[in-house]
Amino acid sequence: MEEFNTLKQSSRNAGKWSYFVLSIHSQLGVAAITDCNNADGGFYQCMRVANVQIWPQYSKKHIKEKFESMEAMLTVRVKGIPAKVGVREAPSATGPTKIYSYTMRGPEATKHTWMLRFSKYEEFEGAMHLFQAMKLSDLHLSVPKRVEGRQQTKELGEGTVEVDLSELTPCTIIYGNLSEGLAPIRAEWQQKQPKGSSPKSGR
């Protein structure tokens, strides 16, 4: 899972933000946040991502800062179904490999909603591309799932069915054309940076 330093808005106080680490697994379609103050390093919350709203897609009522501010532009609203993410190490020819799995609650479960804010445009863009790369099937099953390499394994009862990720039905995580959506945010960020320090985007 790729990690990003973020601020997470308190669910009870829209003006309070705390440091969290955002972890994204685009193949599994899951995201997790870890409290930076948590000594054991365990995930604080995990979800199977359903949609992500970038500025100005989310409502201005969700934040207290000015909606045209850089802080607002680097803020996203992430929503999904609660999940439990597990990780184990398996031997491989190149050394230990981390294998991630998750168990998702049914679609009737109360959804997780995170307001996350990035401090650097480069990390913001990188995370958005990972969200957009997610491929989620239309199935909503409360079953364990595991990704190893390029395959997703769904364990159903005593049988095991392997499904190539390319066969999953893609769904839109971020509405619209992501490149066009990022353009005004990138332009505003570049305008506020000292000369010669514009972000480089290879995506």
Give the CATH number for residue 97. Answer: 2.30.29.30
Question: In this structure, is residue 155 part of a structural domain?
Answer: yes
Q: Cα 196 vs. chain centroid, distance in angstroms?
A: 30
Which pLDDT tens digit goes with each residue over 78-87?
999 888 877 7
Question: In this structure, is residue 157 part of a structural domain?
Answer: yes
Question: In this structure, is residue 110 part of a structural domain?
Answer: yes
- Number of folded domains that form the chain: 1
pTM of the predicted protein model: 0.75
Report how far residue 53's alpha carbon sits from residue 61's, in angstroms, rounded to the nearest whole number. Answer: 14
Question: In this structure, is residue 147 part of a structural domain?
Answer: yes
Question: In this structure, is residue 198 part of a structural domain?
Answer: no
**DSSP secondary-structure letter at 139?**
-
pLDDT value, residue 98: 73
Report how far residue 133's alpha carbon sits from residue 123's, in angstroms, rounded to the nearest whole number. Answer: 15
Which pLDDT tens digit goes with each residue over 170-203?
467 998 899 999 999 999 999 998 876 655 655 5
| Host domain of residue 6 | 2-192
Question: In this structure, is residue 61 part of a structural domain?
Answer: yes
